[in-house]
Amino acid sequence: EIGVRSAHRFCSVAPFSGLAAASSTGSGAASAVGASSPSPVSASGTAMTVACARIDGSAPWPGGIPRLKLLREAPSRSALKIEEAWLVLLDDAERASWLRPGMSAVDLGAAPGGWTWQLARRGLRVTAIDNGPLAPHVLAMDTVEHLRADGFRHRPRKPVDWVVCDMVEQPVRVAALMGEWLAQGHARAALFNLKLPMKKRWEETQRCLGLLREAAPRHEFRARQLYHDREEITVLALPM
């Protein structure tokens, strides 16, 4: 009889090294590139399901969740979303390359300024676009400019490094907007959230990602529902 404890004992001694790499290539031979970590997904009295994942591709945080602290000066909880996105969707080399002081960013729908604040803290020059007010201490930051304008209508006078967006809007509208910014060369990279509907979320996700890939085929898109996200996914776009 197979129970949960016996399943874990089996996984601790089973020779699963390289199984994930072998199965992904179809070669049937164990790969030397990183061992695999087997773990029982479910166990009944007669059967056990085992999942196997590459150890070198696992998240560095316990449970896969980066434990971030919302600082007192953060204008909103959304500041945690962009911080987590940088940790999860970018690797160390990409963070060093794409988040350099002096780079330029436009934050669409910025108020009260959570994402603008995070970008400015890293030394980026940020144009915050929103008809609403920014938190006073964000507005006072040397590298922040606030333009009272519609996030869907604003376009930069010259190309910027980043466009970011956390507007509460239909996901297909945001996807179309981001696709245009990338396709027209208004921004080199993008980071944005798509607020998903209550029903058919997977279908809407596929629709939006398909629209983005068609609009900006020279960009790579990475999408995840992050721990600090709610009914939404976070999408990163980088030039290939």
Catalytic residue numbers read 195
Q: Are 187 and 161 in contact (CB under 8 A)?
A: yes
- CA angle, corner 116, sides to 113 and 120, nearest 5? 130
Helix (H, G, I), strand (E, B) or coil at 43: strand
Position of tokens 């507005």? 139
Q: Please name the amino acid found at residue 17.
A: S
Please list the residues that pair with 239 across neighbouring strands: 219
Q: Are 128 and 165 in contact (CB under 8 A)?
A: no
Alpha-carbon distance values, 47 to 1, 23, 33, 42, 142 (Å): 8, 21, 30, 8, 62
Position of tokens 């994930």? 20
Q: Which of 204, 193, 172 is nearest to 237 (CA)?
A: 193
Alpha-carbon distance values, 157 to 154, 160, 187, 220 (Å): 10, 9, 11, 25
Q: Which of 211, 210, 232, 237 is nearest to 222 (CA)?
A: 237
Compute φ and ψ for 194, nearest 5 degrees: -115, 115
